[in-house]
Amino acid sequence: MTTLDKTTNRNTGNHSFVTNGSIEYPDGNTIILYFCAMLSKEELDFLAYWEKNSLQQKHSTRPFMIGLSAGFVLGISLIAVVFSGWYERANMVANSRLSSFVFLLAILGISFFMAFMYRKFRWETNEQRYRELLARKKSLEKKEV
């Protein structure tokens, strides 16, 4: 059963929270629903930053290099496992069927794929955050008017 109470304000630190209602379950438990009634300074700063720099960040080399280094770490660990000799049969099969050039090419491919995906993931995460904050800002402005 859902009951909507009278709206009450609660202030906790940087945010002013509004209790919009509560959900009461048959066993007597109650969940109080909170929605943030204003944006923090950090959120407003992010909105301003992302509005100016979103296209530059989409093609930035920094996240690409971070993803590339993560891919190389994965590749180096794979080389260490193969050449450590802890599993002799796999080592024999790798030496007989797998050329070292193909192996290094595969590691390069994995590294560039991870770099591309990491950069794309970071951009999409920031874009999603921007859109959520923008929607919340517009809904707060609409409520004030």
Looking at the structure, tell me whether residues 32 and 55 fall in a common domain: no
Judged against a pLDDT cut of 80, whether residue 75 lies above it is answered with yes
Predicted confidence at residue 52, as pLDDT, reads 93
Pairwise pLDDT comparison (47 vs 26), residue with the higher score: 47
6-17 pLDDT tens trace: 344 444 444 444
Looking at the structure, tell me whether residues 59 and 116 fall in a common domain: yes
Predicted confidence at residue 134, as pLDDT, reads 92
Looking at the structure, tell me whether residues 74 and 85 fall in a common domain: yes
Looking at the structure, tell me whether residues 80 and 109 fall in a common domain: yes
Domain that holds residue 5: 1-38
Looking at the structure, tell me whether residues 116 and 75 fall in a common domain: yes
Percent of the chain with pLDDT strictly greater than 90: 26
User: What is this structure's pTM?
Assistant: 0.62
Looking at the structure, tell me whether residues 26 and 75 fall in a common domain: no
Looking at the structure, tell me whether residues 94 and 138 fall in a common domain: yes
Looking at the structure, tell me whether residues 64 and 4 fall in a common domain: no
Looking at the structure, tell me whether residues 94 and 119 fall in a common domain: yes
Lowest mean pLDDT of 14-18, 62-66, 119-123, name the range. 14-18
Predicted confidence at residue 81, as pLDDT, reads 80
Predicted confidence at residue 62, as pLDDT, reads 87
**Residue 26 dihedral angles phi and psi, to the nearest 5°:** -60, -25
